[in-house]
Amino acid sequence: MKIYTKTGDTGQTSLLGGKRVEKNCLEMEAIGEIDELNSFLGLLNSYLDNKFKNEKKILQKIQNKLFDIGANLAAVQTTLAKVPTINKKDIVLLEKQIDKMDETLTKLTQFILPGGSIPASLSFQTRAVCRRAERVVISLKQNYKLDENIFKYLNRLSDYLFTLARYFNKQENFEEIHWQK
């Protein structure tokens, strides 16, 4: 199979089920944001060394879930029944990981500036991309019925990435820098 089809040369693409849409429609915007988020997760993962094996494994699970979310977004205009779903257990996995990391961190009493180690900085940046993706997916919700677990997952993923950044800084002995009002 060739990577190029030439069917998108006029600015259109296909959603799941074959419906043709403009490449800049809201559905494609949301899919693109999820794709960018997934790419940032891959970049973050590529910077992690072997002492972060568990985190690497979790990040790959998240990347797979983001493909599931992308499939859901690509299917909003269809009645396809075999689209992968985001389940409560996917959200609980993120919550458990947050709680586990949070046990090792100092209590958060004020805002901190993004930065620190390279993995932490990339995690903070990925969190910002996650929030943007979440906003666009919520905009899509105004036009289509979407699984509520998608919003919960993206919201929790942002929390996970923030906590992960703090965890990386702690593990790499980087001090958090507090916001100076």
The CATH H-level (homologous superfamily) assignment of domain 20-171 is Cobalamin adenosyltransferase-like (1.20.1200.10)
Nearest to 21 by CA among 81, 66, 77: 77
Each residue's pLDDT tens digit, 110-168 = 999 999 999 999 999 999 999 999 999 999 999 888 999 999 999 999 999 999 999 99
Q: pTM score, two decimals?
A: 0.93
What pLDDT, in 10s, does the model give residues 44-64?
Answer: 999 999 999 999 999 999 999
> 91, 153 in Cβ contact below 8 A?
yes
**Residue 81 pLDDT more than 70?**
no
Q: Is the pLDDT of residue 23 over 70?
A: yes
Check whether 25 has a pLDDT greater than 90. no
Domain ranges of the chain: 20-171
